Amino acid sequence: MKNKIQKYNNQTPYFILHKNKLLHNLVKLQELEKKANIHILHTLKSFNEPSITPMIAQNLSGMSIASPNELQMAQEAKAKYIHLYAPAFEKEQLKKMIKQVDSISFNSLSQWNAFKALHGSKGLRINPKLQLNIPSHCNPNLKSSRLGVDGLEFLASFRQNKEKFNDLEGLHFHALFQGSAKELIILLEHITTQFKEVLPKLKWLNLGGGHNFTTIDYEIDTLVKYLVNFQKLYPNLKLYFEPGESVTKGCGEFVATVLDIVNIEGKKLVILDTSIETHLLDVAIVKLKLKVKNTQDEVTPYGYQLTGNSCLQGDIMGDYYFTQPLHLGDKIVFEDMMAYSMVKMTKFNGMQKAKFYLA
């Protein structure tokens, strides 16, 4: 019964996913897999609605997971290949999980040393410390980042004691955020230059997430050409990618209702039947301004501040210019909300989690 999709009844707040749009993205990703001879794994932490994940599993090469709960979700969705990565593992939990996944990346040399004897296809996550234009809260390239081993530190350790890495089968780089083909090529160039001596002994390379594969302007042909040549140089390497956001990009909205409109200090404040803490947590963390339907950048006479129904003063989604005046009971549609929103819902303030509908 867990996978049953609720019948649409327009009762807000809700998330709504358009099946045709998701299939469109999945076909695009499948074509990329075929043309470039790569393997695309859906990153479950971005979107894990159990009524939809089997469709994703059916269409892509596999899933990327981080915990026992996600392992269960990937298995229930019938993922064909499962890659496991987390910043750190607890030994007993890891011993159980490693038997059930196809490959794993460790995050540090200490975790590698502790667990390298376990049976499995094991890799190491590297922080390439690339200088890219990425907001700092989601930039894994930061010098101070805990995510991944410093590339030079790994190389020094590798050169000092190659035997210690006899069982190393892969390297893992999650270094981009909403990245272009150009940025991915910068990453691949960096890898081929810096890890020349390591690549020939490996079986796989995981190029992480953060790829805008499904946006209209992504330079697919440039990437395919590069990857085909890359594989001529390294036929030993299977290439894995683990996008999250781009799998469900543009596939669905979040809808809330106007409960009240109050005039405060000359500003019209709209109170919605939602809150950042309960349904839109990613907004608070990533501090993105959401796209709202029927609004525009240019000033209109219908400026409103959209706010939530929790007791937190900071429960504010932002100032928007609507194309028409708002009234009580109007629906406010937040666009492109599938990734990293539903997965983070809470019941703060006693609010209900938002419903999920399939259109």
Ligand X SMILES: Cc1ncc(COP(=O)(O)O)c(C=O)c1O
Q: Which residues bind ligand X (CB under 6 A)?
A: 43, 46, 64, 85, 174, 177, 208-210, 242-246
In angstroms, give the least distance from the CB of 66 to ligand X.
Answer: 8
Question: Which of 137, 267 has the CB closer to ligand X?
Answer: 137
Nearer to ligand X, 64 or 341 (CB): 64
Q: Provide the residue type at 218 as one letter.
A: Y
Residue closer to ligand X (CB basis): 245 or 253? 245
Backbone dihedral angles phi then psi of residue 156, each to the nearest 5 degrees: -65, -45
Let me know the angle formed at the C-alpha of 278 by 83 and 73, rounded to the nearest 5 degrees. 25
> At its nearest, how many Å lie between ligand X and the CB of residue 212?
9
* CB 147 to ligand X: min, Å: 7
- CA–CA separation, 139 vs 39, rounded Å? 24
Beta carbon of residue 344, minimum distance to ligand X (angstroms, whole number): 12
Query: Looking at beta carbons only, is 33 or 330 nearer to ligand X?
Result: 33
**Of the two residues 43 and 108, which places its CB atom closer to ligand X in the complex?**
43
| Nearest to ligand X of 43, 103 (CB atom) | 43
Task: Report the amino acid identity of residue 39.
Answer: H
Q: What CA–CA distance (Å, rounded) separates 222 from 304?
A: 43
Instruction: Report the DSSP beta bridge partners of residue 62.
Output: 41
CA torsion 145-83-206-179 (nearest 10°) is -70
Q: How far is CA 49 from CA 46, 54, 69, 344, in A?
A: 10, 9, 13, 12
Q: Which two tokens stand for residue 239?
A: 């290439």
120: helix, strand or coil: coil
Cβ(305)–Cβ(269) below 8 Å = yes
Return d(Cα 135, Cα 132) in angstroms, integer.
9
Structure tokens at 150: 């410093």
| Residues in Cβ contact with 100 at an 8 Å cutoff, skipping those fewer than 6 apart | 71, 75, 82
Query: What is the closest distance, in whole angstroms, from the C-beta atom of residue 159 to ligand X in the complex?
Result: 26
**Measured from the CB of residue 65, what is the shortest distance to ligand X in angstroms?**
10
Q: How far is the CB of 280 from ligand X (least distance, A)?
A: 17
Nearest to 101 by CA among 146, 150, 62, 49: 62
Min dist. Cβ of residue 74 to ligand X (A): 14
Q: Which is nearer to ligand X, 46 or 121 (CB)?
A: 46
Nearest CA-CA partner of 176 in 231, 116, 135, 120? 135
User: Which CB atom, from 243 or from 308, has the smaller least distance to ligand X?
Assistant: 243
Cα 258 to Cα 72: distance, rounded to the nearest angstrom: 38
The residue sitting closest to ligand X, measured at its beta carbon, is 209
